[in-house]
Amino acid sequence: MASNAFGTQFRFTTWGESHGPAIGVVIDGCPPLIPLTEADIQPWLDLRRPGQSKYTTQRQEADRVRIMSGTFEGVTTGMPISMMIDNTDMRSKDYDDIKDKFRPGHADYTYQMKYGIRDYRGGGRSSARETACRVAAGAVARKILGDAIKVRGAVVQIGAHKIDRARWDWAEVGNNPFFCPDAAAVPVWADYLDGIRKNGSSIGAIVEVVASGVPVGLGEPVYDKLDSDIARGLMSINAVKGVEIGDGFATAMLSGEDNADEMRMQADGTPAFLSNHAGGVLGGISSGQDIVARFAVKPTSSILQSRQTVDAAGQEVDIATKGRHDPCVGIRAAPVGEAMVACVLADHLLRQRSIKAGN
């Protein structure tokens, strides 16, 4: 059944395969009168775009976005915003080899068993290429959120190499090909990934997304909690295997008194929290603190190293995936994670209006 859409009030639907003519997204529910042109969207796509360093896939895609509907004279009209990105650098014959083989860790086997058919070229619909549409949607979500709400992402761990959080500097994130906020970690990661890449291997990563300026009150109990929706959104990104909010899995080892984010009054008469173990969400509702979410990205499944598998005919075969792939797909997941969090926030910002206004 229908399953290619995300969100309720701010709802986007994506379409397209890795090696089809184009991919696209239709945003339904964007309020009117918001200034919006391609220039608001393209920079975010450029961050996710492949082929920009040796640490990401060498597929060359301009990822040029076109707005096909929903704006008039430079502002949104409240009508659906359709955006399209042409596919230009497809080498489908790279994939003839895996046409009938199920790559371990890939969706090949499950798609084939579920649907009885799959577009194997570049992974078809299961390709990470789909995430460009999420980034485009996220760019529109940011316009709804406004300048006061900032959603930023960073890679905080690649393999066993973690950043030093004491050196966290958001300004560094744009200065390296890893979205790394710790300048000292950059050369370490570069060396490490060079080895991974030359070895035809791949490695996992952890990404952290922080949303600041989020007002208290977003998120709806008990099933559409802000953190439930963030978890769903992040887990839906290709290769993501875990999501946590605030202290996350570490809270298992915390006592109630250590986990309590105590409150005090500020000089301006508003309350403030003394810590943020909760990651900005209490009872599924934003607390006004930074929303902090982390997600784990497994290593790219397409590797040059040979693995055992079976084919559609039931034969045991070995497989080594050719084609152009990211040695660490977690890197390019950072802008995608940001986009998903931005979309969840925009959705809940609009939802909250129906509660606050009027009554």
Question: Of 204-263, which residues contact a second copy (CB under 8 A)?
Answer: 204-206, 216-217, 219-225, 227-236, 238, 241-263
Of 171 and 231, the one with the shorter C-beta distance to a second copy is 231
Q: Is residue 31 a contact residue for a second copy (CB under 8 A)?
A: yes
Q: Please, which residue, 93 or 356, has the CB nearer to a second copy? A: 356
User: Cβ of residue 183: shortest distance to a second copy, in angstroms?
Assistant: 21
Strand partners, 16: 23
CB 222, min distance to a second copy, A? 6
> Looking at beta carbons only, is 49 or 197 nearer to a second copy?
197
The single residue listed with the structure tokens 């040796």 is 54
The least distance separating a second copy from the CB of residue 169, rounded to whole angstroms, comes to: 22
Closest CA to 63 of 26, 91, 23, 15: 23
Contact stretch for a second copy (CB under 8 A) within 40-48, 55-63, 124-132, 184-192: 124-132
Per CB under 8 A, 181 contacts a second copy: no
Contact between 285 and a second copy by CB under 8 A: the answer reads: yes
| Burial class, 171, CB count within 10 angstroms (exposed 0-12 / middle 13-18 / buried 19+) | exposed
Q: Which of 64, 150, 307, 322 binds a second copy (CB under 8 A)?
A: 307
Nearest to 292 by CA among 314, 277, 271, 273: 277
Q: In 3-state terms, what secondary structure has residue 151?
A: strand
Among residues 91 and 162, whose Cβ is nearest to a second copy? 162
How remote is the C-alpha of 262 from its chain's centroid? Answer: 31
CB contact at 8 A, 172 and 181: yes
| Residues 125-144 interacting with a second copy (rule: CB under 8 A) | 125-126, 130, 144
Residue 197 binds a second copy, judged by CB under 8 A: no
Q: Closest distance between a second copy and the C-beta of residue 78, in Å?
A: 4
CB of 98 to a second copy, least distance (A): 13
The span from the CA of 278 to the CA of 259, in Å, is: 8
Asked whether position 41 contacts a second copy by CB under 8 A, the answer is no
CA dihedral 335, 339, 341, 346 (to 10 degrees): 150
In the complex with a second copy, the residue whose CB is nearer, 62 or 79, is 79
Interface residue with a second copy among 54, 114, 167, 198 (CB under 8 A) is: 114
Between 103 and 171, CB nearer to a second copy = 103
| Closer CB to a second copy, 72 or 170, in the complex | 72
Nearest partner of 91 among 45, 51, 122, 70, judged by Cα = 122
Chain Cα centroid distance, residue 93: 28
Q: Could you say which DSSP state residue 304 is in? A: S
Confirm if 159 and 88 have CB atoms less than 8 A apart.
no
Closest CA to 69 of 58, 57, 83, 56: 83
Shortest distance (Å) from residue 146 CB to a second copy = 8
Query: Among candidates 209, 169, 198, 201, which has minimal Cα distance to 185?
Result: 169
Q: How far is the CB of 46 from a second copy (least distance, A)?
A: 22
For a second copy, which residue of 157, 172, 180, 185 counts as binding (CB under 8 A)?
157
**Which CB atom, from 160 or from 171, has the smaller least distance to a second copy?**
160
CB of 66 to a second copy, least distance (A): 8
**Cα separation, 171 vs 174, whole angstroms:** 6
Site size toward a second copy, by CB under 8 A: 155
Residue 263: Cβ within 10 Å count: 11
- Residue 323 interacts with a second copy (CB under 8 A)? no
For 49, 195, 215, 216, 306, the CA distances from 146, given in Å and listed in that order, are: 24, 42, 12, 16, 48
DSSP 191: H
Which residues, 53 to 112, sit near a second copy by CB under 8 A? 68-70, 72, 75, 77-82, 102, 104-107, 109-111
Structure tokens at 83: 């955006």
| Pick 107 or 151: Cβ nearer a second copy | 107
